[in-house]
Structure 1
Amino acid sequence: LMVLFLVTEVSEFILLGLSEDPELLPLLFGLFLTMYLVTMLGNLLIILAVGSDSHLHTPMYFFLANLSFVDISFTSTIVPKMLVNIQTQNKAITYAGCLTQLYFFMVFICMDNLLLTVMAYDRYVAICHPLHYVVIMNPRLCGLLILVSLFISIMSALLHSLMVLQLSFCTDLKIPHFFCELAQILKLACSDTLINNILVYLMTSLLGVGPLSGIIFSYTRIVSSILRVPSTNGKVKAFSTCGSHLSVVFLFYGTCVGVYFTSAVTHSPQKVSVASVMYTVVTPMLNPFIYSLRNKDVKGALGSLLSRNFNSISH
């Protein structure tokens, strides 16, 4: 309880955003508003399609609907505040608002990461143990996997947030980013951040490398299992069930690694901010397209959902 009373005198931070050029701000506002609306619409359609079509009431689509919900929440943590700041030309965010944004950002990015790992496990069971798939991936296990992922994400974010609460900050409170990112907040602290940095490296290793290793292991077994399938059609069909998930995994980890290397090789915070747009805004927007364009079942469910709504409106 004592941790909660160690709040600094800081009342607000300044988010410098992607650009300080006034002529670019209307363009950025239009671009990010459009991307946010497309993200919301695309992911909501996936959730509605999975919920309304009984053919999609399977573990794979259950996890996909959860991924869509997390993507909506993830983007909503960052973009609305960014749009308000651009529109009002006020870059301030309150201390409490910044820590709240930091907390939910960390919850949802961790949840995204763990869900992709759970989905890889689902594909591994479906292809390597098809006869036992229904028994292994039962509703109880699916629900448990979601709850465990959520618990880990909440506890990880809570731990980081409580550690930030203990920091005191200098007079320069400008964050060279468009949202309250942990690494940028730690750079502004006047007090010792050694324990915070150790925690960042430790949690990144556990919750970054761990799930990625699980995904790589799952796909190693999947590929070796598919290669043993005698018919070419069988191989193509098996690979096609993994194609969408694999595309999303490459997109998510590729953009995260891209941001990490950008921050390592450049001292320009603006370039790091632009690179961060990829995994915070672009990836959640593209995920529904990847799943709907590559998947006949999702396309069929979306088509029937839209036609039903259109018919009800016309009548």
Structure 2
Amino acid sequence: MVTTLLVIVVALALIFDYTNGFHDAANSIATVVSTKVLTPFQAVLWAAAFNFLAYFVVTDHKVANTVAKIVVMDYVNIQVLLAGLLAAITWNLITWWFGIPSSSSHTLIGGFAGAGITNALYMGAAPLDAVNMKYITTIISYIVLAPVIGLTIGYIITVIIMWICKNAKPATAERWFKVLQLATSALLSFAHGTNDAQKVMGILFVAVVSQGVIAKDAPMPEWIPLACYSAIALGTMSGGWKIVKTMGSKITKITSLEGVSAETAAAVTLKITEHFGIPVSTTHTITGSIIGVGLTKRISAVRWGVTIPLMWAWVITIPISAIIAGTVFMLLRVFGV
């Protein structure tokens, strides 16, 4: 049965997807804007188009399936989903306001898990009974692994490109790499859409199952992926200029060649993890890729004073989101929602 709270949860999930779009738009367009290949307005339109293109290509929603299993269904109710989404939206807006490129993926996962754990406490169960630790452990491990993989691939691609182009005229190479950046930024935007939109799909699928709208083993209704890809694309069109500045120039100075390397490395990492159904952070991945590109010049080319605070933001995102969600869940119970 469709209830008012279910409608609110669906609306909040799509609002979160929208905030994910403008929060994480910076990840796929920061380098293409900082190298002046596209204007900011052109870049967000370009990224949004390829975010949405993923809807027509991706059919096996493995990441969505993983997210749907983070909290054990016995501990999922509409209040858990409501609290998790409110926490995720809150943390996304806080980090966006301060220009911190934190992970939208991890704030959603932390919020969902935190609300589920709090519900388990209300039910008199052990807190960790509410979550599937296999999935939580994998997600937490990729807070480290995703940027390291992106860094490694970015470093290798940059070294290979520099070796291939060692005899090219700088002006000619620059023109070619500006063209290539259009392709690599599109590839990254597509990978961002396939990975990040699926996380909200998982939440929406759990919502309709928990309310008895569809059976647990039923296929995902087509409106869910369509709505999620649309929301994330619209959010991307809204931009996120504070984060663009951090990603595009504060970590290390980016040329077109290096933009191609970073975007390719991040896109490859996202597609590999999406293939295995691992919900990783686009933010962490592209940051690692940019650092890897910077390291090909010298260690001091990376502004570690900027990157270290970013890494602290990555570490605290899941626990803070979980605490916010738990608090919201308790307030919902107090006010009888």
The alignment's TM-score, normalised by the length of structure 1, stands at 0.32
User: TM-score, length-normalised on structure 2?
Assistant: 0.30
